Amino acid sequence: MTGQNVRTIAPGGTIGMLGSGQLGRMTALAAANLGYKTHVFSPDADSPCAQVSAAETVASYGDHEALAKFARSVDVVTLEWENIPVQTLAFIAKFVPVHPGPGVLAVAQDRLLEKDFVNRLGIATAPWRPARCPGQAGEAVLEIGTPCVMKSARMGYDGKGQVKLTGDVAPVDAWKSIGGVDAIVEGFIDFELEVSVIVARGQDGAMVAYPAVENRHANHILDETIAPAAVSPATAAEAERIACRIAEALRFVGVLAVEMFVTREGAVLVNELAPRPHNSGHWTIDACASSQFEQLVRAVCGLPLGSVDRVADAVMRNLIGSDVDRWPDLIAEPGARLHLYGKAEARPGRKMGHVTRLLPRI
């Protein structure tokens, strides 16, 4: 123990990772640099994370026997995907510390709970209403007005499970098109740009925040992140304040990404929370003293948080689908930092890697 409520795991320990994609992979690499091993648990074999981990368990998130064996083999558990079942985290927590915990995940998995939580903190979002049934969907669209966006309350990401309404589609038809599930209707925001802030919070409550970055999307998938965002110092400070306030209120341990809109009037509105490393933080691997992935390792292992000082400005671009075929040119490009995720098949919309280009600090 290094302080009140801090459980320190010394190098040589094993971090359990729930989920096995590229975020887990980059966390496992950061963990190895600090002397830790990673044991990954997911239903998928030959995963990006498993390729660089010391151990792998391939099993369902509902397999209690496999989960118990996994939990007994590690010193702490974290996650790289917020849609791990809450029941899975609650079960594992009987055996070993889990960061972030099941309570955090319950909020982050449900857009209705998430928006309500943020608003209760006095933090603004787009106007929204619940749409849990056909009648409520119609009422929500009527109250919010068009244009608006209807999103499934759970499981949607990268544009999945959502539809924009402009008045030419009946709300009930829109609700059915996203699966007829619990949904949220959000007012359409005419924003200047989208930003995100990634904040790391340790077991002792210490926090550090990376600067606000600008995120540009293509086909609802993050295409490019520009670090730092070209916003006023006051706007950047407000975005960082909001992210830290949410992390504190959640009693979060780990790395939290807060996606936000900056309106044309300069207001900052929270869009979504991601309770794990985030695509918009990949630039920190090459441009910061400590990456978002190292911060996750530090936080869950009870170590002091690292510096978020950046050694350069940066532009990170995702390699989606066949973009990865450009790797020979990218790896030959002076100054380009290429990161490939070890995925065997390049499919449309699939994140295969990213490239970061460093720029002089402004």
| 39 secondary structure, DSSP code | E
The response to whether 117 counts as a known ligand-binding position is no
**Residue 194, annotated as binding a ligand:** yes
DSSP state of 324: G
Q: Distances from the Cα of 242 to the Cαs of 128, 164, 270, in angstroms?
A: 19, 27, 8
Q: Is 271 annotated as a binding residue?
A: yes
The answer to whether the beta carbons of residues 325 and 253 sit under 8 Å apart is no
Q: What is the DSSP code (8-state) at residue 305?
A: P
Residue 217 assigned as binding residue: yes
111 known member of a binding site: yes
| C-beta of residue 31 within 8 angstroms of C-beta of residue 15 | yes
Q: Running DSSP on this structure, what letter comes out for residue 255?
A: E
- Per the annotation, does 139 bind a ligand? no
Q: How many helices (H) and strands (E) does the chain have?
A: 11, 17
158 labeled part of a ligand binding site: yes
CB neighbour list of residue 349: distance below 8 Å, 6 or more residues apart: 158, 219, 221, 320, 321
Q: Determine whether the annotation assigns residue 161 to a binding site.
A: yes
Buried b (16+ CB within 10 A) or exposed e, 118-153: beeeebbbbbbbbbeeeebbbbbbeebebebbbbbb
Q: Is 5 annotated as a binding residue?
A: no
Which residues are CB-contacts of 181 (< 8 A; sequence separation ≥ 6)?
Answer: 152, 153, 154
Question: Do the annotations mark residue 95 as ligand-binding?
Answer: no
Residue 319 to residues 139, 322, 327, 349, 352: CA-CA distances in angstroms? 40, 8, 9, 9, 6
272 annotated binding-site participant: yes
Alpha carbon distances (Å) from 61 to 68, 89, 312: 11, 9, 40
User: 162 with 151: CB under 8 angstroms?
Assistant: yes
What are the binding residues for ATP? 111, 151, 156-162, 186-189, 194, 217, 271-272
What are the binding residues? 111, 151, 156-162, 186-189, 194, 217, 271-272
